[in-house]
Amino acid sequence: MKSHFLALLTLCLVFFPLSGFSEENPPVKISALLHLTGEYAQAGKAFREGMELAAQKVNTEGGVKGRKLEILFEDTRYDMKTVNTLSQKALSIDKVPFAVISNYTEVMVAGPVFERANVPLLTLWDSSPEIENLGKFVFGIGVWAPSTSEVAVEYSLKHAKNKTAVTVATNGQWSLAVAKSFAEQFRESDGDIKGEFVVNPDDVDFRSLLARVVRLKPDVIYAPLSDHQVPFWKQLEVAGYKGIRITSDILNEALIKEIGPTANGILQTQVSDPDLKRTREMLAEYQKAHRRECDQVFLTALGYDSVLLFQDAARRSKSISAAQISENLYKIKDFPGAAGLTTINEKGSARKAAKMFRVVDGVLEKD
């Protein structure tokens, strides 16, 4: 009797695997080109956790057209040669119909490669005119870069007494572009930019620079830094600055905790709103999966949304091909994601407008 039961159980496992997916149907594979080590590794980890969480949700609900979703994670190390190599691998070896990549700098390298191959590539952290110009197969679902500086300028001029400001940027494409946009818009609105400073990604000692900044007595310091948030803000407080402090889209719960009480009062433009229903649902899923709270909500949400957007595009497709996935991404309107509503426009961008948040008692709250 026992032998008959075991034989029956074996047959069941062959024809009805525990995963719920038939072994005759190969999994749907997509690529995730993320900086998982090196510079920005913390952000890459958040993207990965969000994507893994969403993939688990998709597979629990039956997968993509009845096939298991499998994500091929690749570590770019935030090295542009590696980005190019992994892009070629995703297309020529893995032959994926869809891929995601971390940010502005990396998509500037990978975007043209995917565009030539007619395979959709989704940028997580950013959306911008420059990304739109890479072609119809390159997408962006992050913060719309022009709105980042627009919101910061509007807030600054509303609250600054004498309308003076200083910008401090990291020597990198995204940070320089955002700081330049802020300075241009600030001047166009009759504000006075007292200075525009640039620091290197590996700098940690800003005492001399900040002494110069404080002597200029700006009403606002706009510092959309991509690195060194912890030493910069701590040293700024020691320098005695008492004015308005604004950064962009980089602070998260982990960094705020590391900065400590000095972080209170720092303003940040960002898209994510932790009070959204889908965001709360994602955070509950995260807590259940990791037995801890998510400390990088916005970045995790972007990774999470990218997988669900692929699922949505695949559902609209007759077959899971790069051409149909790309075509159907453009049909996505008001998708309720964990990082806010997503509508893909005719140029491939979500163009999510930023909002102003303030650090209050160690937590980012809508200002």
Indicate the residue among 270, 293, 311 that finishes a domain: 270
**pLDDT, position 1:** 47
> Is 365 or 28 the better-scoring residue by pLDDT?
28
Q: How would residue 274 be classed by pLDDT, with cut points 50, 70 and 90?
A: low
pLDDT band at 20 (very low <50, low <70, confident <90, very high): low
> In terms of domains, do 159 and 261 share one?
yes
Domain with residue 52: its CATH number is 3.40.50.2300
Confidence of residue 365 (pLDDT cuts 50, 70, 90): confident
* Position 293 pLDDT exceeds 50: yes
Verify that 202 and 234 share a domain, yes or no: yes
Q: Which residue shows structure tokens 């691998």?
A: 89
Judged against a pLDDT cut of 80, whether residue 29 lies above it is answered with yes
Query: Is residue 14 included in any domain, yes or no?
Result: no
Range of the domain at 232: 146-270
- Are residues 30 and 138 located together in one domain of the fold? yes
Answer yes or no: do 116 and 263 share one domain.
Answer: no
* Span of 122-126, 204-208, 293-297 with lowest mean pLDDT: 293-297
**Is residue 334 situated within a structural domain?**
yes
Residue of 183, 177, 171, 168 whose CA lies nearest to 129: 177
Q: Is residue 3 part of a domain?
A: no
- 289 and 261 fall within a common domain: no
Q: Is residue 161 part of a domain?
A: yes
8 domain-assigned: no
In whole angstroms, what is the distance from residue 248 CA to residue 148 CA?
Answer: 7
pLDDT at 275 > cutoff 90 = no
> What mean pLDDT is predicted for residues 54-72?
96
Closest CA to 96 of 104, 106, 86: 86
Q: Do 114 and 30 share a domain, yes or no?
A: yes
Instruction: Answer yes or no: is 64 within a domain.
Output: yes
**Higher pLDDT residue, 145 or 15?**
145
* C-alpha span between 332 and 340 (Å, rounded): 13
Give yes or no: residues 74 and 121 share one domain: yes
pLDDT of residue 148: 87
140-173 pLDDT tens trace: 999 888 888 999 999 999 998 889 999 999 998 7
Last residue of one domain, picked from the residues 243, 270, 297: 270
Q: How confident is the model at residue 42 (pLDDT cuts 50, 70, 90)?
A: confident
Percentage of the chain exceeding pLDDT 70:
93
Same-domain pairing of 205 and 294: no
pLDDT grade, residue 227 (50/70/90)? confident
Residue 301: the pLDDT is: 94
Average pLDDT over residues 232-240: 97
> Mean per-residue pLDDT for 67-79?
97
Q: How many domains would you assign to the chain?
A: 2
C-alpha to C-alpha distance for 328 and 309, rounded to whole angstroms:
10
**Three-class SS of the chain:** CHHHHHHHHHHHHHHCCCCCCCCCCCCEEEEEEECCCCCCHHHHHHHHHHHHHHHHHHHHCCCECCECEEEEEEECCCCHHHHHHHHHHHHHCCCCCCEEECCHHHHHHHHHHHHHHCCCEEECCEECHHHHCCCCCEEECCEEHHHHHHHHHHHHHHHCCCCEEEEEEECCHHHHHHHHHHHHHHHHCCCEEEEEEEECCCCCCCHHHHHHHHHCCCCEEECCCCCCHHHHHHHHHHCCCCCEEEEECCCCHHHHHHHHHHHCCCEEEECCCCCCHHHHHHHHHHHHHHCCCCCCHHHHHHHHHHHHHHHHHHHCCCCCCHHHHHHHHCCCCCEEECCEEECCCCCCECCECCEEEEEECCEEEEC
Band of residue 252 on the pLDDT scale cut at 50, 70, 90: confident
Look at residue 10 in the predicted model and tell me its pLDDT: 42
Q: Let me know whether 124 and 207 are in one domain.
A: no
pLDDT higher than threshold 50 for residue 230: yes
Rounded distance between C-alpha atoms, residue 152 and residue 231, angstroms: 22
**Statement: residue 77 has pLDDT above 60:** yes
Q: Which pLDDT belongs to residue 14?
A: 38
For residue 287, what pLDDT band results from cuts at 50, 70 and 90?
A: very high
Residues 91-129 have pLDDT tens digits of 999 999 999 999 999 999 999 999 999 999 999 998 999
Distances (CA, A) of 208 to 109, 213, 257, 263: 35, 9, 25, 21
User: Last residue of some domain: 270, 299, 331?
Assistant: 270
Instruction: Write the CA distances from 247 to 152, 165, 231, 333, integer angstroms.
Output: 8, 13, 14, 30
pLDDT averaged over every residue in the chain: 90
164 and 203 share a domain?
Answer: yes
Q: Are residues 219 and 184 in the same domain?
A: yes
Q: Is residue 179 pLDDT above 50, yes or no?
A: yes
Within-domain flag for 367: no
Domain contains 20: no
Is the separation of the CB atoms in 310 and 98 below 8 Å? yes
Whether residues 73 and 35 fall in one domain = yes
Are 280 and 27 in contact by the 8 Å Cβ rule? The answer is: no
Residue 130 has pLDDT above 50, yes or no: yes
pLDDT given for residue 17 in this prediction: 42
Predicted confidence (pLDDT) at residue 9 exceeds the cutoff of 80: no
